[in-house]
Structure 1
Amino acid sequence: MEKDLLKLLKEGGLILYARHGTATVGVDQVNGLFQSCQYQRNLSEQGRHEAVYYGQMLRYWQIPILAPITASPFCRTIETAQLAFPNVQVQIDPFLFEIFMLDGNLSTVQQNSILMAFQSMLEMKPPEGINRVIIGHSFPKNVGLGVIPNMGTVIIKPKGLGQGYEILGKLTLEDLAKLDSI
């Protein structure tokens, strides 16, 4: 299965939804001030190394990546994208903050609204022969893409707007490093 996954990744047309690298311990106090990194959990030293390694692995496997990289407005997701893809523009998508909010006390209606909008995002096919990367957050258990480890990646095959999507695999950073040997 993994060898096929590497082949599919090289062919493009997929979405790589990755969780940011390991963050510092603490609680986010965002209050709409995303530019103020001191009020957020940021990447730890380990998280910075994970982000750099993530980008190196994608380049090593020659997986084509679409520019710009999409990231949540948190400092840790932007920094993850910048470290992983140092020569690629990062585009901040405020909607990805909504994914982060799924862990909060939302009503079922609010949660479903976010998940429907996210599904539409995952249904949009990237251009032929290239993959789109989204750096975001994990999901609550059994919601959306589920729990994603730090720098873990969910490989998604979009079927087109309104047509749904298919999850081809979930990779930890370690899985990504040994894609051809599994």
Structure 2
Amino acid sequence: MSYISINRILNSLKQGGFIFYTRHGEATVGRDLPYLNFKNCLTQRNLSEKGRRQAKYYGEILRYLQIPIEYPVSASPFCRTIETAQLAFGSVNVQVDPFWIEIYKLSGNLPSFERQRILSHFRSVLETIPERGRNTVIVAHGFPNEIGLGLISNMGTVIIKPDGQGNGYKVVSQLSIADWSSVDS
């Protein structure tokens, strides 16, 4: 699949109407504990120092490029996704949405009907057109290869153009954190 570079779509992004599906910043090595508790970050992998720098930079570059964001930004209940969103957009501009846990679950061994239920709801979210003149931001998790939006790097963003409920969406580009800094301003 070929993607459009950020330079080619920057003016469109400034007009709004896109969804930025962003994976959290780099997390610490290891695994979430089997008794994961969303209110206890010690049971989860958390952002590394590099991940924190990535998150701050992401917010700075979107502001520098004057890309309008619809607030609140949506984040998964994991500590690493909440912290990523808060560092990038400010604590008061983040709303936790439990649905994004479902994306995390796609990496597990789910029955086919459950996987289809999650992906159907996900498609519905991606068909939702943002507030006029703004872009929706979701900070959540990557996907298993060839499922949903596929593999996404740490702080990577998939830019989606929704066509409205029931009308689908188009993946416009997938950008790494480094791609954002290569913009000709």
TM-score bracket for the superposition, by shorter chain length: over 0.9
Structure 2 unaligned residues grouped into runs of 5+? none
Alignment partner of 1:39 is 2:73 = no
Which one of the candidate residues 125, 128, 134 is aligned to 1:130? 134
Deviation at 1:31, TM superposition (A): 3.9
AA in 1 matched with 2:39: Q
Residue type matched to 2:8 in 1?
Answer: D
Q: Give the superposition deviation at 1:179.
A: 2.6
- State the one-letter code of the partner of 1:134: I
Overall identity of the aligned pairs, in %: 55
Structure 1 residue ranges (4+ consecutive) displaced by more than 4 angstroms after TM superposition: none
1:140 aligns with 2:150: no
Q: Distance in 1 between matches of 2:34 and 2:11?
A: 40
The match for 2:32 is 28
Instruction: Give secondary structure in 1 for the equivalent of 2:59.
Output: helix
Equivalent runs, 1:83-162 vs 2, <5 Å: 83-86=87-90, 88-162=92-166
Give the letter aligned to residue 124 of structure 2.
S
Corresponding residue pairs, total = 181
What RMSD in Å do the two structures reach over aligned CA positions? 1.3
Match of 1:18 among 22, 37, 48: 22
Map Cα deviations across residues 32-52 of structure 1 (whole Å, 9 max, x no partner): 620100000000000000000
Selected match of 1:58 from 43, 56, 62:
62
In structure 2, what is the Cα distance between the partners aligned to 1:180 and 1:101? 38
TM-score (norm. length: structure 2) = 0.94
Q: TM-score, normalised by structure 1?
A: 0.96
Gaps of 5+ in 1: none
User: CA shift at 1:153, angstroms?
Assistant: 0.1
